[in-house]
Amino acid sequence: MDELKLRNVHLQQVQNQIRHKTDGLSSSTLVLRRGQPFTILINYDGRPFDPLKDKLFFRIVLGPLSEEVPVSVSGQPSPSQWSAILERRVPDPNAGRTLTVSLYSPASSSVGVYTLHLRVETRGSIKSHVLGQFTLLCNPWCQADSVFLQSEDLRNEYIRNDFGLLFKGSPGNVASRPWSFDQYEKGILDICMKLLQLSPQSQADARKDLLNRNSPVYIGRVISAMVNCQDDKGVLMGNWSGKYNDGVNPSTWSGSADILWKWSETQFSPVRYGQCWVFAAVMCTVMRALGIPTRVVTNFNSAHDTNANMVIEEYYSEKGEKLSIGRDSVWNFHVWVESWMKRPDLDGDYDGWQVLDPTPQETSAGMYRCGPAAVKAVYEQKVSAPYDVPFVYAEVNADLRRIIIRDGKILATSVDKDIVGALICTKRPGPAMLMLDITSEYKTEMARSGEGANGRGVLQGIGVSLQLVKAPVVGENISFIVKIINNMAIPKLLRKYVNAQNKEYNHNPTGTFWEAHDDLTIGPNETVTVKHEISFNNYMLNEVREDCLVNLAVVIEDVKSQERVLVSEEFNISSPALNIQIQNESSVIINTQQFATVTFTNPFNVAVSGDLIVAGSGLLEEKVQMRLTIQPRETMRRPIRFIPRMTGAKMLHASLVLTAQSTVLRGFKTVTVQAA
């Protein structure tokens, strides 16, 4: 009888990837999750396979690491090492000679790109074959994996969902913007694996790096550093200068794929430019692609405490102008990610959400990275827990001291213990694009948006408060009320200074664009309410840009005693939104042409020009881009055709990049694509 001879091996890419929930991920290899079996078919000619005479051995190779795995005809897979078991199948006379083998990876396997070899030993020969490559990811569906997540809804949200919301603005006027994580776009998974390969850890000692890649704690730390380019061949270069002529304005990015593609296409040169929400969104893409559940989180009024004393100092002039003094600062918002994982390296129960921050702020063990810091350790003030818990704790808990100075002398001080970390939030899981408040996971006492402690102040016998009449919107005047209460039985002569400055979210203000000051007399036990308005014409040139905010401050001086009190409020001005309507949105079918309409009414009293860009991962193969000019109060309508290529929840999003105003207007629509 003819000798047993291998004909071919079928890795069953489609079937295995559906079972491993990696279908849709774009890679040059088979994509699998650890801790879960996959099956391959071995087709051969000649005599039947005889397990007493014939032996099969797989060799699993990961860089300099390899493991030989004999194929067993029976038994149970090992939880700690690779196993291969020959499945018993009823022979199919029409299928030729076929063996079905199930390969089992441990749930603690390293994440990476493996090569699979097969050695066939018969009495007459020994032959080796290279079968191909596979990419192995973490597995939140596997209970033994350290990233296991109990809820299927949360697994779908934090692993499989490829779009989300990023929150910006201020606690009292939260602005949301869509982001496309793009983990299913062409080549993105392979680029994410390249991040691991190009890390300083891998370059210094590939063997040690690959062994450590079994831990999501280690992977998170590596990716946190690789998303910025401070110490390595990382993805993004930060820029907070406002000058982006030699790159891309961070506000114009709307998805991760363009950034990761550009990094790969330029031989891994840093992409210009990113700011905190861009760093975080790209890291979310990479972590979800690697199989680690991840979400993007915004901390409003985020403290950057450079000297670790838990106090941020802000300086004002006697007329309420905020001054650029000192290295500490409070960012109006800061964006990081949380990833879900066990923490076997910590004493106590600190499994669950971990803060990871790729924005280069401070170094951690000599590199610009942050985390993973267990959210529970931040809540419990366990500042000794690795990694970087003190820095994150200060970001959400530092005290803010406001100081009024003149000629270097301190005129008045006040301390606000509630403003920092006033709101911490992320996208709510599920199809509704809503915000989820997670402040209580970080802090025992929650500050809430609204008037807030920063909007009130007390002088000897005088109470002062500052409150916006309504959340400001571009095209409308800014209205606010200053309320002064005299709790004394005597009249008071007061001097009132009101000052408005434009600022970016992570900087002290630049210059005053509006101010008012006057003297007033307030009677015994009297309350005086003064309404102010800043006209649209006053702020439109300064404030229409995305991520620009207003610092509004009031100083009340008791003329007789020369005592002063300061109250302030920082807020954003909401931009108008684009509207997207999808025709027959309840019956959007895969591989079938669909129609959408993008509309926008120009609220400005001048014509605006810019580029309209429409994109949607899984909906549009390429972005739709067109140049527009829209007259004052004119309504623009543009039809868009698209053909969905993936089922499930997807997002169509549009941005209008206004040239003269240096701003980006946005809109989005989610749609559920059904099977044919």
- Active-site residues, by number, are 276, 334, 357
- 39, β-bridge pairs: 102
Which tokens belong to 280?
């975080």
Measured distance CA(324)–CA(346) in Å, rounded: 40
In the block, tokens 């550093």 appear at: 225
- Nearest CA to 646 out of 180, 46, 48 is that of 180
Which tokens belong to 349?
């129960």
Measured distance CA(291)–CA(140) in Å, rounded: 7
Measured distance CA(401)–CA(399) in Å, rounded: 6
Measured distance CA(84)–CA(138) in Å, rounded: 20
- Nearest CA to 332 out of 304, 370, 368 is that of 304
**Ramachandran area for residue 430 (φ above 0: left; ψ -120 to 50: alpha; else beta):** left
Measured distance CA(108)–CA(82) in Å, rounded: 10
Measured distance CA(284)–CA(672) in Å, rounded: 22
Instruction: Write the DSSP string, 61-76.
Output: EETTEEEEEEEESSS-
Measured distance CA(405)–CA(413) in Å, rounded: 9
Question: For residues 188 and 260, is the Cβ–Cβ distance under 8 A?
Answer: yes
Q: How far is CA 197 from CA 22, 192, 267, 311, 365, in A?
A: 21, 9, 13, 40, 20
Measured distance CA(484)–CA(456) in Å, rounded: 10
CA angle 307, 297, 435 (to 5 degrees): 135
Amino acid in position 155: R
The bridge status of strand 322-323 relative to strand 329-341 is: unpaired
Which tokens belong to 253?
């990015």
Cβ neighbors of 661 (< 8 A, separation 6 or more) are 544, 545, 604, 608
CA angle 445, 446, 447 (to 5 degrees): 125
Residue 128 burial (C-beta neighbours within 10 Å; 0-12, 13-18, 19+)? exposed
Measured distance CA(260)–CA(254) in Å, rounded: 12
Which tokens belong to 338?
């949380």
